[in-house]
Amino acid sequence: MLHPATVHFAMVLPVVASTFGLIYLATKTESMSKISSRATLIAALAMIGVWYTGSQAGPDIYNYLSDAGQHELLEHKALGLYLAIAMSIIALIKLVGCKMKNYAIEALAVLLLLGATATTFLQGKHGGELVYNYGTPFKSYLIMDTLKGAVADAAEEEDAEAKLEVFQDAIEDIKMHSEEVDALYGNTPEQESDDDAEEEE
């Protein structure tokens, strides 16, 4: 999953571009105009790249989220797309202003960039909520959901062995989901040592 590794660029680069933009507004020098324009273009490319990696990662985790988490993920994806489009337009305006040596056009681009940068922090907040409010409890949510289903199914069974089989199937499902989540995040579960295996025997 590349999104967690690339998302930091989308947070930092607009701030860098905004800083150079503000310096240009204060100095009005041609060199700073070019630097800020290139920084804005790089920030826009980073935003597009992060949106792409996020759109690839989203379907992988969607089914593991609660209804609230799924709603949050869809909002996060939509805002990411809007930011990618907005940053691309802002970069184009800035480059046109730089090429034409038009201070007013470049100033407009910088002001828009500041707004997009502020929105990027809001997007980061949403991303953090997905990870810490909905992402971290993946396994616990799946465990509870699976066990609730097992309890309901077991209640319909009269035979004790059938009830036991329902819960055994639930445990297997939990193990499978746990391994899938670990695979998504690149986690490698600890392997049992020989001593532990012998103790269990």
Q: Quick one: tokens of 60?
A: 């992988």
Instruction: Tell me the pLDDT tens digit for each residue of 80-103.
Output: 999 999 999 999 999 999 999 999
d(CA 62, CA 120): 22
Highest mean pLDDT among 63-67, 160-164, 186-190: 160-164
Q: How far apart are CA 100 and CA 98, in angstroms?
A: 5
Distance in angstroms (rounded) separating the CA atoms of residues 69 and 136? 11
Q: What sign results for the dihedral spanned by CA atoms 19, 22, 27, 28?
A: positive
* Residue type (1 letter), 193: S
With vertex at residue 127, the alpha carbon angle to CA 56 and CA 137, rounded to the nearest 5 degrees, is 90
The answer as to CATH 1.20.1070 being correct for domain 3-136 is no
Mean pLDDT value of segment 113-130:
88
What residue segments make up the domains of the chain, in order of their start? 3-136, 139-185
**Which residues does 117 contact at the CB level (< 8 Å), separation at least 6?**
14, 15, 17, 18
User: What average pLDDT does the segment 135-161 reach?
Assistant: 75
**Average pLDDT score over residue span 69-80:** 87
3-state SS track over 149-175: HHHHHHHHCCCHHHHHHHHHHHHHHHH
pLDDT, residue 194, reads 47
Q: Give 85's contacts (C-beta < 8 A, 6+ positions apart).
A: none
Report if pTM > 0.75: no
**150 or 131: which carries more pLDDT confidence?**
150
180 — pLDDT class (breaks 50, 70, 90): low
Query: What is the dihedral sign for C-alpha 120, 121, 127, 129?
Result: negative
What pLDDT, in 10s, does the model give residues 9-33? 888 999 999 999 999 999 999 999 9
